[in-house]
Structure 1
Amino acid sequence: MVNKKTDEIAHANLFCGAYFAQVLSNLGLKTIYFSPGSRSTPLIIGIERYSNIQLIPVLDERSAGFIALGQSKQQNEPVGLICTSGSALTHWFPAITEASHAGTPLLLFSADRPPELQNCGAGQTIYQENIFGSFVRQFHQLDVPQSCEAFKKNITTALHTAFLEATGLNPGPVHLNFPFREPFLPASTISIDKEFNDPSLPSREISYPDSTIDISGQISSTTRPLIIAGQDVSKNDIEPWLDNPPIPILCDSLSSTRQSDSNNTILRYENLLRDPQFVENCKPDLIITLGPLPTSKTLRNWIQGLSALRIVIEPRGINVDPIQSESKYFQIGFNQLEQINVPPPEQGWTENWTEGEREVQTKLDRAFEEELPAFEGKLAYLLSLHLPNDANLFIANSMPIRDLEWFWKKSTSSRRLFGNRGVNGIDGTLGTALGMAQETSVPNFLLTGELAFLHDSNALLFANQFKGNLTVFVVNNDGGGIFENLPIAKEPEFEKCFATPQSFELSSLCKAFHVDYSLLSSWSQIIEKLIKPRDRGIEVIEIRTNRKQDRLTRNKLLALTPWKDA
């Protein structure tokens, strides 16, 4: 005989899972990644049985988090995550911090023990309420499921609110915690009403608190304007400032403004701002920063020393200005930039920047035409020349993102550049790139160092579930090359405590995961991989370099100025 209370619990759990799935389907959620566990059974069965949402298993929660992050970055829409109770959801934390700082929407659904099993030593139980603190835009604690209209209304409200918060002016992750009692499913098959009367989301108009008129008034008397286009600014957003009037635009390494051959887009600012003569002659009286600043410490130090009027525009309404000098902050959309009246620059102002850009680029081209055997920075340059026009490229932090900033050559294309620049860590590099490439038809590439690759090598377990293509260039310089640029590199503890070289065979690692591997030593072989990309699966290409020699070569190339050869 079935215990009535037990039967009611099981029915309520299935009802919760089914309604959960139906509401999310109605909201338009397309994909959920999950890691296996018992407590999340009602949510998993609900999605699998009662929705068309794609439910994809990933063994460990950490990899699942970064894969979901990468797909959300690529699609610019929420992706879901489901996990069981206990320590499971803590493994999402690195991906959540990146999503929070980068403004990437994620919907986090964790299962939990019911209230009577909290704080009493029950297995696989931790305090999960609001565990991610300020890193999520919102937290919702759901009630234990019940088969009643009140519960139905509560779950609808929670999911609607979560979706709106995740995709709002300041998009990011939202966490919903679901407590479940056992049994998780009925012992026998029952029917669930598939008639679904979920009210539509309320219409939402994007409204920004600040006015472009105010900005125009603040800058009306300036004559030496400079624009810094952050990573989230698109070519379309900045189109009005490309030619009329032409204003120098410094382009972040990930901004699509780099994918333009407009004369006044400036990519060689690292070289220009290292040159005292150029710095003396090219002091702006206005800097308009659009979103977060590029990584360049040279650029940031230069801005710090200026007395120019600084305008910071950030649609998300958060502080993205690390410069410790006065600035004026405005929250407007980048699609409103055309409404700002920037005064025409004084004669010769833009030309100083564009001629400097042209001179430095010519010298860099000449240097890269030489063989520069095994210099890792040349890979970023070759990517800019030979990457397919419609490709996606994910760039790891540390040296790859800096090489991209320093050596990528501008051209007109539809390429999309991605990176984890929210908190700038190396963790989750491979997983995020796999998410970026998941279910895309265009060529996909990852440029990473070997430490970032090894740090996330567990993501290779996703290879069997992966639907897409990804070519991974692993620059193996036997340690952390970025630390070679710091004073600590001269200390005797450097190799052990900072460079941390790893003794490993990348070929053996790839073989264990049944992933294609090759070791390339010539630039012609690398170019061949770029112009003839694979159409499915993962290939890892190892390129071995010398990090100490690479540091010397970089310094030589970055010393090129309009008036001086290295």
Structure 2
Amino acid sequence: MSISTFNRRWAEVLIEALTRHGLRHMCIAPGSRSAPLTLAAAANGKLTCHTHFDERGLGHLALGLAKAARQPVGIIVTSGTAVANLYPAIIEARLTGERLVVLTADRPPELIDCGANQAIAQVGIFADHADALNLPRPTDAIPARWLISAVDNLLASARFGAVQINCPFAEPLYGEDDGAYQSWRDAPGAWWQQTTPWLRYSQQAITMRQPDWFSWRQKRGVVVAGRMSAEEGAQVAEWASTLGWPLLGDVLSQTGQPLACSDLWLNHPQARQTLAQAELVVQFGGGLTGKRLLQWQNSSRPENWWLVDSAPGRRDPAAHGGRRIIAAPGEWLRQHPAQPRAAWAGHLVLLSITAQQQVDAATQTFGEARLAHRLPELLPENGQLFVGNSLIVRLVDAFAQLPVGYPVYSNRGASGIDGLLSSAAGVQRAQPRPMLVLLGDISTLYDLNALALLRDAPAPLVVLVVNNNGGQIFSLLPTPEAERQRFFCMPQSVSFAPAAAMFGLQYACPENWSALQTYLQQCWRRGGSHLVELVVDAESGAQTLVALVKQMEEA
């Protein structure tokens, strides 16, 4: 009987078991050792298969798919360094909760630690960043129900972040399917006609109502909104407004940031004096962006600080006393209704208006700061935004007021610049809506070959690259001026026009605001994939932020 045929049967059962947990997307990199897994995934009609030649980008493609689909997403890679290239995406998933199921093909045990080609120690390679299941070499001495139960147990016990299933396969890996081992495959019987897991765990995660909520909601409260879904952001904004509590919304909160430009006005003495009166702070989600918001979070000492987030573990770097509530924000809000009350912190509204006026006056010149401030004017209707890391996300957080409930995605767990284009591609494949991707030049260069994933976008797509010639985030930091450009900013002096041409994307480089608006309006109407490059002054964006923070402190 053929080893290659049994490898296929083993992989078929494994892949089918994964689909019973909601897995509908499989991201596949080329490889020989992973052939049984790839062929089984391709033959499973429940799966949509995505491919990419770069495993690092593949991991981030899966990450983006999982963000938008809110379902587990699978990854298949071959053995060796292909596995290690998934590390950044797995780290991000552990921090932000996307469920990735990583199938790492491996050499059988006798080919490990003996000098065999493309064989590395893969068991536990992701350490604490992923729960792991190390499968044995496929053999018909192990019943199919054991394999199915092992998968069910892993996915039931690890409900946050990534898991690794290490799959050793012996050669031969290819060959005609001779029909052997069908009885082994079919042994689970009616399971093949069902849609549920073989082994179902009873996990009752009930959000408990805080028994003293009715007294706490009478007090002076502040709402801090971090990373949430669009639906949750809109719900939190309405809840805070009903209570009359000021809401400090992060760029990823999707709350509409009713007190816009908080990163500018939070250091104003009047703001700190007003916020010091808060008796309760309720924070939804983590991953806060603004420096001034993080500083206030660290220094604030209300009677109680409640942090509501579906992610387990510690999520408050300031280590406040209070309550850590593991619950989805929307579910928690339903258990804790708001009581209509008059707003108690009206001074903050005036500070926000003043800050917005100062931003408007300071961003009349075409450039990075104006783009961040007027970003809402460029967003496609019924679309979505993916915003990169480093300087650009800080400028948007400080200068813009994004629409309430407008979907915003980013990789703000580890906040790296690796894989951002790949993640954006995954988001749009899961949610095929018009999308604007806003990145810096270094971030785009870092993931340049992911432009291959954007050629056949399922909806109008614009990658807007802010080319300020280097990592200008370091202009905000006290880096030594003599070494700043060479060792920190690292300007590359490149044009992205050849990259767009190489990957078949339409290209434009508008030189003023009117041209930028007009071109993007055409993009949303005509469809297709576009790379739009804005060549801006290197340091003006960072300098504008520094100047406005200082100006607002003294206002």
Q: TM-score, normalised by structure 1?
A: 0.88
Distance 1:410 1:395 in 2: 12
Match status 1:131 vs 2:151: no
Q: For structure 1, which segment, 382-391 or 57-66, has the greater mean C-alpha deviation from structure 2 after superposition? A: 382-391
1:221-265 per-position Cα deviation (integer Å, ceiling 9, x unaligned): 973210101112613542662333221111111112127xxxxx3
* Residue aligning to 1:506: 496
Call closer, same or farther: CA 1:83–1:411 in 2, change over 3 Å: closer
Q: What is the correspondence of 1:542-553 to structure 2 with a 5 Å cutoff?
A: 542-553=533-544
Match of 1:538 among 525, 529, 535: 529
Q: 1:314 deviation in Å?
A: 2.5
Q: What is the correspondence of 1:177-188 to structure 2 with a 5 Å cutoff?
A: 177-187=166-176
Does the residue aligned with 2:102 lie in a helix, a strand or coil? strand
Call closer, same or farther: CA 1:312–1:27 in 2, change over 3 Å: closer
Distance 1:221 1:153 in 2: 52
* Residue aligning to 2:216: 220
**What is the RMSD of the two structures over their aligned residues, measured on CA atoms?**
2.7
Distance 1:235 1:295 in 2: 16
8 Å CA contact 2:290–2:398 kept in 1: the answer is no
Does the residue aligned with 1:257 lie in a helix, a strand or coil? coil
Matched residue type, 2:540 = Q
* Residue aligning to 1:438: 429
Distance 1:329 1:20 in 2: 37
Matched residue type, 1:352 = H
* Residue aligning to 2:59: 65
Q: What is the correspondence of 1:139-288 to structure 2 with a 5 Å cutoff?
A: 139-147=132-140, 150-165=142-157, 168=159, 171-187=160-176, 189-190=178-179, 192=182, 197-198=190-191, 200-201=196-197, 202=200, 204-208=202-206, 211-214=208-211, 216=213, 220=216, 223-232=219-228, 234-238=232-236, 241-258=239-256, 265-283=258-276, 284-288=278-282
Q: 1:145 deviation in Å?
A: 1.2
Q: For structure 1, which segment, 23-32 or 68-77, has the greater mean C-alpha deviation from structure 2 after superposition? A: 23-32
* Residue aligning to 2:11: 17
* Residue aligning to 1:296: 290
Match of 1:336 among 332, 346, 350: 332
Distance 2:551 2:239 in 1: 28
8 Å CA contact 1:107–1:162 kept in 2: the answer is no
Call closer, same or farther: CA 1:432–1:165 in 2, change over 3 Å: farther
Matched residue type, 2:354 = E
1:377-404 per-position Cα deviation (integer Å, ceiling 9, x unaligned): 2212322134123111110001111112
Match of 1:396 among 367, 382, 388: 388
Match of 1:419 among 388, 410, 413: 410
Does the residue aligned with 2:85 lie in a helix, a strand or coil? helix
* Residue aligning to 2:312: 317
Q: TM-score, normalised by structure 2?
A: 0.90
Call closer, same or farther: CA 1:326–1:506 in 2, change over 3 Å: same
1:185-226 per-position Cα deviation (integer Å, ceiling 9, x unaligned): 445642757866326232655415x74324627x73973210
Q: Which runs of 5+ in 2 are unaligned?
A: none
Distance 1:348 1:189 in 2: 74
Call closer, same or farther: CA 1:536–1:140 in 2, change over 3 Å: farther
Matched residue type, 2:270 = Q
Aligned length: 540
Call closer, same or farther: CA 1:162–1:539 in 2, change over 3 Å: farther
Distance 1:279 1:28 in 2: 47
* Residue aligning to 1:3: none
8 Å CA contact 1:388–1:415 kept in 2: the answer is no
